[in-house]
Chain A
Amino acid sequence: MADLGPLWLTLKLAAAATLILLVIGAPLAWWLANTRSALKPVVEAITALPIVLPPTVIGFYLLILMSPNSALGGFWVSVTGTTLTFSFTGLLIASIFYSAPFMVQPLQSAFEAIGRGPLEAAATLRASPLDAFFTVAVPLAARGFLTASVLTFTHTIGEFGVVLMVGGNIPGETKVISIAIYEHVETLRYAEAHQLSAGLLIFSFAVLFIVYALNRRFPINVT
């Protein structure tokens, strides 16, 4: 039987990255959907970078950014006494950068699809912008939130290159499932590699299937 540690670590990482990205990504997507600022294309381009860049490039720069010799990495060491690189926290920060487009882009599309209409209506009903965001925009973008969360979660699970660059291979800390599979294959332990790969395949399929099935059975009426 393969060690299940990497599986739990992976799920923990994916769940944490998804939750944090929901909190950061939703306001960012909201801003992108509504702003007329000249900064919008700049921010959009930065958010989309992880889609086009090889993970090694992102991983390389994050590694430099988080190394104890850099400002951020040095600050982290002085505050916590541990390094960001080759730690779960560092891996989480890297995952947030790497998976950001999968959260922000579907949410931005969902918010843009709602349009100004319902929010103007909410404003005339005396709802403040924050109130209207939570009581009108978020429920109307429910499908976008579901899609964005599932994409972010599954994308974080499947991440390999960035983890290898930033996190390395420390059991219980940074040894996620994709790294574990890679290691099993490298050491010719195909049986364990099979177990983890098949497990990941079935899990990913099951999650996606449930989401799409729910989406079909309970369509969210936005008319």
Chain B
Amino acid sequence: MSPSRLELSAQLAFSDFTVNIDEVVSLSGITALFGASGSGKSTLLRILAGLERRAKGRVVFNDMVWADSGSGTFVPAHRRPVGLVFQDGRLFPHLTVDGNLNYALSRSPKDQRPIGFEQVVEALDLSTLLERKPAGLSGGERQRVALGRTVLTQPGLLLLDEPLSALDVRRKGELLPFIEKVPDVFGIPAIFVSHAVDEVARLADQAIILVDGQVALRGELPDIFQQLDMHGFTGNFEAGAVVEAKVTGHNTQYQLTNLDLGGRALQMPMVSSLKSGDQVRLRIRARDVSLALKKPSGVSIRNCLPAVVEEVRSEPDTAFAEVLVRVGEQGLRARITRQSGDELKLAPGLEVYALVKSVSFDRRVLISARA
């Protein structure tokens, strides 16, 4: 699928903040629109979908002008080939699941229906839900139906407004694989709004970071995670780095998977679906990384990677400091106390060992090795 081009310049004032964007974005796969609550993410999606008539500016998608306040052009929501999945699903309570899906399909252009009803039902596992009313569905099921319904409008662009935020961790886990495969299976680029780092790390190919209605940072994953001053966006608990590693094999005796990270060996709990040679994306949280000056012995932590300090960022009014280190080409972040930082005399260029306590695998195989 060739990338779609989205030109978006928008100004819209609210009582407490103003959205002010001027970007040209190339869209393919999943683009995350990431930021804290109230940073204008949902508003941007509403502007794209045509639900904010008051917005000033221009929206051009693949040479189709959807809005241009200068010339007074405004294509209303129902004439835009764009699909929006709402945070709360917004299924029609008076229709069954089947009725909801057909509501969308029957209104899509008759001569342009590459996505079929059966295909969506199968991809999103909806066959057992078809006769049911939305009131009887779980949160995850509702969002699956909402996703399927939107896909059946045959959109050229799919917008997802925090479709996971109303779900608990287990339901989230059930829904993620479906969202993940939609752009690939149906060939539609998606913009995914989220304020959760783990969702962005897992799903996105590129990310746009919004702060107070403005674009603060934009780039491809995983690089953007290393540029990102995560504090302020995500809180200290989830802050970390996203790295790419290559699977080198499994240790079946101890149930471990061996990985190559920037030329260094790394282990994580075994994921048997991975094959040797697969490229995977890992997320390593800053609070799970410790630093040592010498290679320690007699510790339980298995992952000990030689690294070079790149930057030490102290947080003045707290006990903590963030340290950026390089492992080969890849960057890691460590969260340590300022006291440790001073005692170890950490400074850029210092050679250290990064002790990684835990690695979370984002289940996304970037490049699959040929079997």
Contact = CB atoms under 8 A, between A and B. Distances in A.
Interface residues of A, number: 23
A123 B90 contact: no
Contacts of A126: 78-79, 104, 107-108, 153
Contacts of B59: none
Contacts of A120: 51, 77, 86, 90
Contact of A136 (B77, B82, B92, B149): B92
A121 B92 contact: yes
Nearest to A139: B94
A128 B79 CA distance: 8
Contacts of B84: 124
B49 interface: yes
Given A120-B77, A121-B86, A125-B150, A222 B93 contact: yes
Contact of A127 (B50, B86, B107, B150): B107
Interface string B83-103: 110101011111000000001
Interface string A117-155: 110111111111101100110011010000000000000
A220 interface: yes
Interface in B57-82: 76-79, 82
Given A123-B51, A124-B84, A135-B103, A220 B150 contact: no
Contacts of A123: 50-51, 76-78
A187 interface: no
A221 B134 CA distance: 10
A118 B92 contact: yes
B367 interface: no
A191 B178 CA distance: 75
Contacts of B88: 117
Given A123-B50, A124-B84, A118 B77 contact: no
Interface string B153-178: 10000000000000000000000000
A223 B93 contact: yes
A221 B93 CA distance: 7
B369 interface: no
B56 interface: no
Contacts of B93: 140, 221-223
Dominant SS among interface residues on chain A: helix
Nearest to B85: A124
Given A127-B78, A221-B133, A221-B135, A121 B90 contact: yes
| Most chain B beta carbons < 10 A, residue from A124, A126, A128 | A124
A124 B103 contact: no
A122 B150 CA distance: 10
A139 B149 CA distance: 19
A125 B49 CA distance: 11
Contacts of B49: 124
A118 B79 CA distance: 17
A221 B133 CA distance: 10
Contacts of B92: 118, 121-122, 136, 140
B52 to A, nearest CB: 11
A124 B83 contact: yes
Contacts of B108: 126
Contacts of B135: 221, 223
B90 A117 contact: yes
A7 B83 CA distance: 55
Contacts of B134: 223
Nearest to A116: B51
Contacts of A222: 93-94
Contacts of A128: 78
Interface string A192-223: 00000000000000000000000000001111
Nearest to B76: A123
A177 B90 CA distance: 48
18 contacts: A120-B51, A120-B86, A120-B90, A121-B86, A121-B90, A122-B92, A123-B51, A123-B78, A124-B78, A124-B82, A124-B84, A125-B103, A126-B153, A127-B103, A132-B78, A140-B92, A221-B93, A223-B93
